[in-house]
């Protein structure tokens, strides 16, 4: 791979900065994308490319993006991972007994557990008809449109009614030794009464510049339950832009926890619809941001059926010159009587150079609801730090313990023990590493 000015070459792929470069790449690779012989998929890709061409990357003039600037993405040139990476890789310790691994957007069978209830999407696109794109909007979400046009592979999980998929780790590794852009697409469908714990982990190997932009779609049928633990542990130069869609039927549950603990620029966006009576959603999370990092947690939760509870607690810890963003909107349709919605955002500033932007929102059209939201911003209690130091605890350790205690409430909301342990391990000792 070579670079000249702002133009990056990777094999025979040439990508200029900004939206035009990604469109150029799409045109050059269109015939090579998996599934192009499937008419429904080829048409969907083409429509998505047109949608992205019409919109381009969002700017801060777009209300949903007013706090997050994509200039680092639009000013950089990204190539593609044309060459398959074979052989052993330095992977993080497994977070679950069954692991499925993707490297630079492509499935690695040699690193994956064949017993996991996961198929790679590139080889099973025929089974994805009717599921791929059923939730993911492209007409007003340009990053989703780009992913739909450009994805090469991903995970396909399709559980039958009553099936227990157990605990699965979905690990995506990006090799940050060259400026590449990858767009994984993951599809999850749970039949009635099915269960799954999915630990989605995005991990960057190296400190170079790259883009990882995954899209996930969850169809949760009646009385089904999915726990979705999301660990974003990208490399220091990484850009992580993910979008999750979930639709939950009657009595089903989508239980999610997001942890931002890496990347130079990260935004995780979730669009969740409670579509049947007594469906439930938990959209909890934490952001650990060190000097020079930007983390954005944005959620859109729609109550479109009666008697549905939702809970959301997002906590952000900021050190150095970092910036955190929380945008959470709860929309209660007129039909969604007896909605019970709660939303809270709390930030802990460890530096006078850190910044937090918090924007909780409620939009309610029903008259029999119980909804609340709030936001708090504070600092570590220096009296507590002094007390711990007086008991012989080093200052860095004392601050680390207080930070972990601040985050504990959010992490404890994860009911699955394996997922909770993986999150707690990622949180542990964070301050001592960045201090």
Each of the 435 residues of the chain gets a pLDDT tens digit; together they read: 223 233 333 333 334 568 888 998 898 888 888 888 899 999 999 999 999 999 999 999 999 999 999 988 887 778 776 555 666 788 888 999 999 999 999 999 999 999 999 999 999 999 999 999 999 999 999 999 999 999 999 999 999 999 999 999 999 999 877 788 999 999 999 999 999 999 999 999 878 889 999 999 999 999 999 999 999 999 999 999 999 999 999 999 999 999 999 999 999 999 999 999 999 999 999 999 999 999 999 999 999 999 999 999 999 999 999 999 999 999 999 999 999 999 999 999 999 999 999 999 999 999 999 999 889 999 988 889 888 999 899 888 888 888 888 888 778 778 888 998 888 888 887 877 776
- Interhelix angle for 417-427 vs 395-412, to 10°? 150
Q: Provide the number of structural domains found in the chain.
A: 1
Asked if residue 133 is part of any domain, the answer here is: yes
Q: Is the residue at 211 inside a domain?
A: yes
Paired tokens of 200: 């989605």
Residue 4 pLDDT: 29
Integer CA distances (angstroms), 232 to 66, 127, 169, 275, 296, in order:
22, 28, 13, 28, 12
| In a domain? residue 40 | no
Q: What is the pLDDT of residue 3?
A: 32
Backbone angles phi, psi at 111, to 5 degrees: -105, 5
Whether residue 388 lies inside any domain: the answer is yes
158 in a structural domain: yes
Per-residue model confidence (pLDDT) at position 84: 57
User: Residue 301 belongs to what domain range?
Assistant: 93-434
Furthest-apart CA atoms within the chain: distance in Å:
70
Cα–Cα distance list, 107 to 184, 233, 374 (Å): 10, 19, 41
Q: Is residue 116 part of a domain?
A: yes
List of E strands, 44-194: 98-103, 106-107, 119-120, 155-159, 164-175, 181-182, 185-190
Q: C-alpha angle 366/372/374, rounded to 5°?
A: 145
Q: What angle do CA 26, 13, 101 make, to 5 degrees?
A: 80
pLDDT at 368: 96
Domain-located, residue 53: no
pLDDT score at 13: 37
User: Is residue 339 assigned to a domain?
Assistant: yes
pLDDT value of residue 30: 87
Q: Model's pTM, two decimal places? A: 0.92
Q: Report d(CA 433, CA 435) in Å as an integer.
A: 6
């Amino acid at each position: 791979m070579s670079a000249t000015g702002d133009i990056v070459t990777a094999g025979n792929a040439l990508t200029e900065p900004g939206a035009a470069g990604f469109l150029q790449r799409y045109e050059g690779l269109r015939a090579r994308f998996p599934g192009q012989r499937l008419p429904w998929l080829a048409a969907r890709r083409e429509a998505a490319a047109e949608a992205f061409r019409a919109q381009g990357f969002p700017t801060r003039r777009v209300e949903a993006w007013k706090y997050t600037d994509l200039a680092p993405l639009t000013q950089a040139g990204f190539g593609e991972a044309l060459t398959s990476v074979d052989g052993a890789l330095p992977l993080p310790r497994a977070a679950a007994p069954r692991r499925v691994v993707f490297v630079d957007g492509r499935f690695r069978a040699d690193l994956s557990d064949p017993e996991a209830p996961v198929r790679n999407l590139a080889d099973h696109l025929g089974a994805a008809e009717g599921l791929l794109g059923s939730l993911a909007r492209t007409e007003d979400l340009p990053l989703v449109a780009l992913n739909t046009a450009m994805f090469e592979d991903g995970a396909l999980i399709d559980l039958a009614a009553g099936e227990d998929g157990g605990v699965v780790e979905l690990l995506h590794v990006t090799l940050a030794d060259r400026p590449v852009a990858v767009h994984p697409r993951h599809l999850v469908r749970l039949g009635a009464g099915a269960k799954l714990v999915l630990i989605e982990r995005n991990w960057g190997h190296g400190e170079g510049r790259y883009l990882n932009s995954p899209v996930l779609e969850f169809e949760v049928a009646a009385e089904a339950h999915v726990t979705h633990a999301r660990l974003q542990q990208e490399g220091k130069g990484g850009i992580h832009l993910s979008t999750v869609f979930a639709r939950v039927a009657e009595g089903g549950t989508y239980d999610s926890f997001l942890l931002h603990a890496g990347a130079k620029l990260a935004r995780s966006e979730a669009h969740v619809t409670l579509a049947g009576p007594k469906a439930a959603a938990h959209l909890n999370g934490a952001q650990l941001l060190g000097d020079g990092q930007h983390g954005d947690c944005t959620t859109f939760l729609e109550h479109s059926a009666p008697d549905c509870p939702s809970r959301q607690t997002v906590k952000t810890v900021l050190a150095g010159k970092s910036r955190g963003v929380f945008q959470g909107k709860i929309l209660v349709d007129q039909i969604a009587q007896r909605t019970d919605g709660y939303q809270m955002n709390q930030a802990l500033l460890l530096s006078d150079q850190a910044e937090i932007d918090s924007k909780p929102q409620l939009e309610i059209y029903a008259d029999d609801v119980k909804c609340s939201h709030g936001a708090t911003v504070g600092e570590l209690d220096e009296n507590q730090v002094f007390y711990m130091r007086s008991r012989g605890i080093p200052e860095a350790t004392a601050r680390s313990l207080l930070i972990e205690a601040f985050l504990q409430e959010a992490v404890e909301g994860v009911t699955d023990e394996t997922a909770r342990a993986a999150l707690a391990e990622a949180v542990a000792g964070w301050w001592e590493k960045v201090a």
